[in-house]
Structure 1
């Protein structure tokens, strides 16, 4: 168990990429990439006129990096909790740690999941 988690921490970006591909997402994690985000108020104004789906998509585009980092942090915490469970230092359940890890991948891909959910609920155009 400890060897598997240690190997995961040594190649954490690749672990996140494999997890994303396993869950069907196309997002890639790269520690060395720096993306510059450009945003104008006209973009959000035009999106607000387009309806809730376009507004949500525009907002999530701006906050994509935040959600990706926060989701990766949740996955990291799930792995740390599982290591603590294996060592006997905490009393968390494996199911809770698994749900926490999968939820972290969902948070990482909020820009894909939220618009799809709005379309499924027929709240967007």
Structure 2
């Protein structure tokens, strides 16, 4: 278990990329990549006039870096909790840790899942 977790943390961005590809997402994680986000009042007006889907998409595009980092942190916590379970330091279940890890990947890709969920629930056209 220690070897697997150590290998995961040595190449954590690659582990996140592999998890994204496994779940069918295209997002890429990297260390030290500069991510600049620009947003103007014109973009806000265009998004507001475009309806709820355009507004949600614009908001999620602005906060994409936040969601990606927070999702990666949730995946990290899931791995650390599972390691603590293996050592006997906590009594969390393996199933909970797996759900936590998958949920972290879903949070990382909120900009893809949010609009798709709205369309699937037929809340927008």
Check whether TM > 0.5: yes
> Aligned equivalents of 1:124 and 1:27: distance in 2?
24
The alignment's C-alpha RMSD in Å is: 0.6
Equivalent residues in 2 for 1:1-125 (5 A)?
A: 1-125=1-125
**Cα offset, 1:73, TM superposition:** 0.1
> Aligned equivalents of 2:81 and 2:111: distance in 1?
27
The unaligned stretches of length 5 or more in structure 2 are: none
**Cα offset, 1:36, TM superposition:** 1.5
> Aligned equivalents of 2:16 and 2:118: distance in 1?
26
The unaligned stretches of length 5 or more in structure 1 are: none
**Cα offset, 1:25, TM superposition:** 0.1
TM-score (structure 1 length as normaliser): 0.98
> Aligned equivalents of 1:89 and 1:27: distance in 2?
33
TM-score (structure 2 length as normaliser): 0.98
Secondary structure of the residue aligned to 1:44 is helix
Secondary structure of the residue aligned to 1:91 is coil
**Cα offset, 1:42, TM superposition:** 1.2
Secondary structure of the residue aligned to 2:122 is coil
> Aligned equivalents of 2:121 and 2:109: distance in 1?
18
